[in-house]
Amino acid sequence: MISNAKLIECAKTYGTPLFIYDGSLMLERYFDLFKFIKNPNLKVHYALKANYNPALLTLLRDAGAGIDAVSPAEVKLALKLGFAPDRIIYTANNMTDAEFDRVMKTGVIINIGSLSRLKKCAKNYPGSRICLRFNPDVCDGDNKMTMTGGDLTKFGILLDAVEEVKKIVKSGDLHVVGLHEHTGSGLQHVESVLQSMRNLMAIATKENFPELEFMDFGGGFKVPYRPDEAKIDYVAMGKEIDALFNDFCKTYGRELIMRFEPGKYLSAECGTLITEVNTIKHNRTRTIAGCNAGFPQLIRPVLYDAYHHIVNLSNPDGALHTYDVCGNICETGDRFAEQRELPEIREYDLLAIGNAGAYCYSMGSVYNLRAMPSEVIVVDDKVVSVHQAQSEDELIDSVLARFAPEVAK
Ligand code: LLP
């Protein structure tokens, strides 16, 4: 964990708002997975959508990770950063023919999640090696927007369509080398992980899919967002996963690769967003701490009602008061926390918003024409990489260059 003193030092050096990532913690989380799940055939494919910072990706590449990519640009970024095509899986949903074609040409395996796309693949790309995404029929996740299993979601092929799948596969002489499922993000129950695995394994018979090389059980490993939140016993879960997979491989008759695709688990806790308070305002019933960042930089509280822990770096021992911690965007919902008890916040105090490493910068925007903040990567308590924010003029020029080149000088 990066110390509070280091966070303050970085904020002073690079300005705020600022994302700071602890690369050492990310690697620790990566290697932990191999301690929990002791299977020698385990491969971890990082869900790049969680955070595409190239310095973090490079650390993971050197550690041996693969990539779960969801757009042609994510595939291209991973390839440019030196991930070999066989370390990448492409799992877009509702992809276009052109996107499919572009990725096919890179040699990256495509994970097909609909009968419609499978038919097109059989017709236009006969003989291809593919992976098939099934809907595991298990509903779990940290909120209903991040649950991907079950009837109400758009993801994957239904398990009971397996006979139809086989016919299409045969018609195009396709080679199904992998099966995939992803249950949701922030899975609350270990049993959901295991049940989804069992459901996918039930159709992964040698009769149905004789050419399997890997089984991919998606991401979704939960991380605590609140300090007092119960933690998953990953050691116990890892043992159950390993036992389940070993039994499966025995029945299948061959050792297969076991893949997981965590995003949050690797990157959420390693990130912190530092923001400076510039306004304290007492409305009738609320005290508002107004910051120099807003939901374009960290949207999870507004979008999912997600809790992100906040620390007052500048006054950690102050008397507790209750605050609405608000951003600088012209919308009422622009809040990082509502009615949160925090040590007294004064103007110019620095606040550290925790678990800002996954789905924060990557879901960011320049709404209200404020550039996304700089990002700093710390490894072993040293800054190893800085991704400088666009300046105000660079941001404006990039807008003008596209829409009004005659105004851009
Ligand atoms: N694999 C697939 C196919 C996925 O769709 C996802 C996430 C993952 C792996 C990684 O899931 P993770 O380990 O990060 O939970 N923006 C939301 C999360 C959306 C997750 C989308 N898919 C949030 O901020 O909570």
Q: How close is the Cα of 132 to the center of ligand 1, in Å?
A: 18
Check if 61 has its Cβ closer than 6 Å to any atom of ligand 1: no
Check if 263 has its Cβ closer than 6 Å to any atom of ligand 1: yes
Check if 265 has its Cβ closer than 6 Å to any atom of ligand 1: yes
Atom of ligand 1 nearest to the CA of 268: 14
Residue identified by tokens 């690079």 is: 14
Query: Quick one: 40 exposed, middle or buried, by C-beta within 10 A (0-12, 13-18, 19+)?
Result: exposed
Token pair listed for 371: 């550039």
Those residues with Cβ within 8 angstroms of residue 189's Cβ, 6 or more apart along the chain or in another chain = 140
How far is the CA of 112 from the CAs of 51, 171, 174, in angstroms?
Answer: 23, 16, 12
Check if 135 has its Cβ closer than 6 Å to any atom of ligand 1: no
Check if 238 has its Cβ closer than 6 Å to any atom of ligand 1: no
pLDDT in tens, 137-147: 998 898 888 88
Q: How confident is the model at residue 409 (pLDDT cuts 50, 70, 90)?
A: low
Please, are residues 258 and 265 in contact by the beta-carbon 8 Å criterion?
no
Check if 48 has its Cβ closer than 6 Å to any atom of ligand 1: no
| Three-state secondary structure readout of the chain | CCCHHHHHHHHHHHCCCEEEEEHHHHHHHHHHHHHHCCCCCEEEEEEHHHCCCHHHHHHHHHHCCEEEECCHHHHHHHHHCCCCHHHEEECCCCCCHHHHHHHHHHCCEEEECCHHHHHHHHHHCCCCEEEEEEECCCCCCCCHHHECCCCCCCCCEEHHHHHHHHHHHHHCCCEEEEEECCCECCCCCHHHHHHHHHHHHHHCCCCCCCCCCEEECCCCCCCCCCCCCCCCCHHHHHHHHHHHHHHHHHHHCCCCEEEECCCHHHHCCCEEEEEEEEEEEECCCCEEEEECCCCCCCCHHHHHCCCCCEEECCCCCCCEEEEEEECCCCCCCCEEEEEEEEECCCCCCEEEECCCCCCCHHHCCCCCCCCCCEEEEEECCEEEEEECCCCHHHHHHHHHHHHCCCCCC
Mean pLDDT estimate for the chain:
96
- What integer pLDDT is reported at residue 300 of this predicted model? 98
For residues 241-252, average pLDDT:
98
User: What count of Cα atoms within 13 Å lies in the side-chain half-sphere of residue 193?
Assistant: 29
Q: How close is the Cα of 263 to the center of ligand 1, in Å?
A: 6
Those residues with Cβ within 8 angstroms of residue 7's Cβ, 6 or more apart along the chain or in another chain = 20, 272, 274, 313, 350, 352
Token pair listed for 190: 């270990």
pLDDT in tens, 184-237: 999 999 999 999 999 999 999 999 999 999 999 999 999 999 999 999 999 999
Residue 279 has pLDDT above 90, yes or no: yes
The best mutation among 51, 56, 185, 298 to test binding of ligand 1, ranked by most ligand atoms within 8 Å of the C-beta, falls on: 185
Residue identified by tokens 């600022």 is: 18
Q: How close is the Cα of 85 to the center of ligand 1, in Å?
A: 21
Atom of ligand 1 nearest to the CA of 50: 14
pLDDT in tens, 108-160: 999 999 999 999 999 999 999 999 999 999 988 988 888 888 877 889 999 99
For residues 398-404, average pLDDT:
86
Atom of ligand 1 nearest to the CA of 185: 15
pLDDT in tens, 327-368: 999 999 999 999 999 999 999 999 999 999 999 999 999 999
